[in-house]
Amino acid sequence: MKLWGGRFTKPTNQLVDEYTASISFDQKMWRQDIVGSLAHVAMLGKCGILPMDEVKQIIAGLKKVKEKIERGQVTFQLAHEDVHMNIEKMLIEEIGPVGGKLHTGRSRNDQVALDMHLYLREQMMEIIQLSMYLQRALTDKASQHLDTVMPGYTHLQRAQPVLFGYHLMAYVSMLQRDIERLQEAWRRVNVLPLGAGALAGTTFPIDREFVADMLQFDGIYINSMDAVSDRDFIVEFLSSSALLMAHLSRLCEELVIWSSQEFAFIELDDAFCTGSSIMPQKKNPDVAELVRGKTGRVYGNLFSLLTVLKGLPLAYNKDMQEDKEGMFDTVKTLHGALSLLTPMIETMTVNKQRMRQTVTEDFSNATDLADYLVTKGLPFRQAHEVVGKAVLACIEQKKYLLDLTLEEFQAFSPLIEGDVYQALDVETVVNARNVMGGTARQQVEKQIAAYREAMGKTETWIAEHSQKVMIESLIDVGSPL
């Protein structure tokens, strides 16, 4: 008999049980479910809704259920549908009918919402930390390459020379926005839905503030209908995750390109590459490719949930069971990608000579020749035309700008003097961009310092919040009673 089966005259069809059950995936939240129940029953005792001796029995029973699950002594049953009913059934088997009083004043609707809030706020904390670790790895690598010059690209065509460290710091900037988005979304995750009941609250004189305080929530849902039907907090997480994965995918795309023989800018450590079953010489950047590939599933998880929610009437609907698998999958995908990319960046080697070679065999200093002419008094649009003709002549003669003699330069413009060679030198070109956001070494050092400070603030934020919300730190909630 189902725990809710009192008004039914026959058991559910086996196919219905299999189709509607969520225990195969929501069992992942068993710790959160037990913690929520511990807080709930403690509140029932504090408010006099249940006598304290029964409260203590239930708390002790929940602790025993927890220990049995940890020891692998129990099996979650499909017949009990979900993690909530499975744990309640285990509790009743452990302490008898009094275990059935645990559900007083709550519904599975607010219970499952609580579990997801508890689960997601902890996982988001870890993802923020892992993102910061990747930031640090990129920043450390950038600080090692403040003199390494590489081509900067637009349209995947060489555009202007930049420092390799400068290029890496662009990804640090992206990750900073990702971290800030997750921190902002975390505020709306850390809101208590428990106490909303099925949709309209409860007739029992519960104390939601007490539960919020026990579970370290910063706020409480004001409207109970909203509390049980809201999945915005998951959508925000999935949206932030999709952007984060987009940034990781762009980084991985460049790692794949840079590690090719055609570019040969970097070499990834053997520990993060694989080989070919037929071609002995191959060293494939599979990890980077797979991170790039898994980005699609994170996008899919976001659009899947948005589609589920778009036409739902208030309040709870069974459709909302589809909110969990995509959330779990996104958490797993991000954990894997971030955990692998950090040591990949730390251990990759950089071919400084190859990078420098490329910027001496192109026309990426052409803009600087135009700027040089501007400093000599020529309007930029005219300077642009002069340099364009000089580049065309060089292409026809199979040479580069710095290969031209002064006489050849002056054939294009008499304003060009002997100092042009210094102006077009690679180091000069890079360090001439000494403005905020520029690629000059001095500016990259400022960027590194600014983001190291930002990472320090992230570490402080994590320290201030993580000790309160990690599920293991809450497992003894209610014990003082």
Residue of 121, 109, 80, 25 whose CA lies nearest to 322: 25
- Which of 101-105, 331-335, 465-469 shows the lowest per-residue confidence on average (mean pLDDT)? 465-469
**Mean model confidence pLDDT for the chain:** 95
Domains in the chain (CATH in brackets) are 5-104 (1.10.275.10), 109-144+162-199+218-357+447-462 (1.20.200.10), 366-423 (1.10.40.30)
Q: Quick one: 134 exposed, middle or buried, by C-beta within 10 A (0-12, 13-18, 19+)?
A: buried
pLDDT score recorded for residue 83: 95
Of 24, 40, 117, 155, which one is the catalytic site residue? Answer: 155
- Which of 1-5, 208-212, 381-385 shows the lowest per-residue confidence on average (mean pLDDT)? 1-5
pLDDT score recorded for residue 7: 78
> pLDDT band at residue 1, thresholds of 50, 70 and 90?
low
Catalytic residue check, 465: no
Residue of 426, 449, 434, 447 whose CA lies nearest to 352: 426
Tell me the per-residue pLDDT of 442-455, one tens digit each, with 9 for 90 and over.
Answer: 999 999 999 999 99
Helical spans, DSSP H, in 149-261: 164-189, 208-214, 224-229, 232-258
Q: Maximum Cα–Cα distance for the chain, whole Å?
A: 101
Q: Quick one: 2 exposed, middle or buried, by C-beta within 10 A (0-12, 13-18, 19+)?
A: middle
Residue of 50, 25, 24 whose CA lies nearest to 37: 50
Catalytic residue check, 155: yes
Q: Quote the pTM value.
A: 0.94
Of 24, 276, 339, 479, which one is the catalytic site residue? Answer: 276
Q: For residues 165 and 173, is the Cβ–Cβ distance under 8 A?
A: no
pLDDT score recorded for residue 12: 80
C-alpha dist (Å) from residue 26 to 4, 44, 83, 326:
19, 25, 6, 12
pLDDT score recorded for residue 469: 84
Would you tell me how many other CB atoms lie within 10 Å of the CB of residue 308? 18
> 182 — alpha (psi -120 to 50), left (phi > 0) or beta?
alpha
pLDDT score recorded for residue 4: 63
pLDDT score recorded for residue 289: 97
At 423, the amino acid letter reads A
Residue of 85, 82, 90, 87 whose CA lies nearest to 22: 82
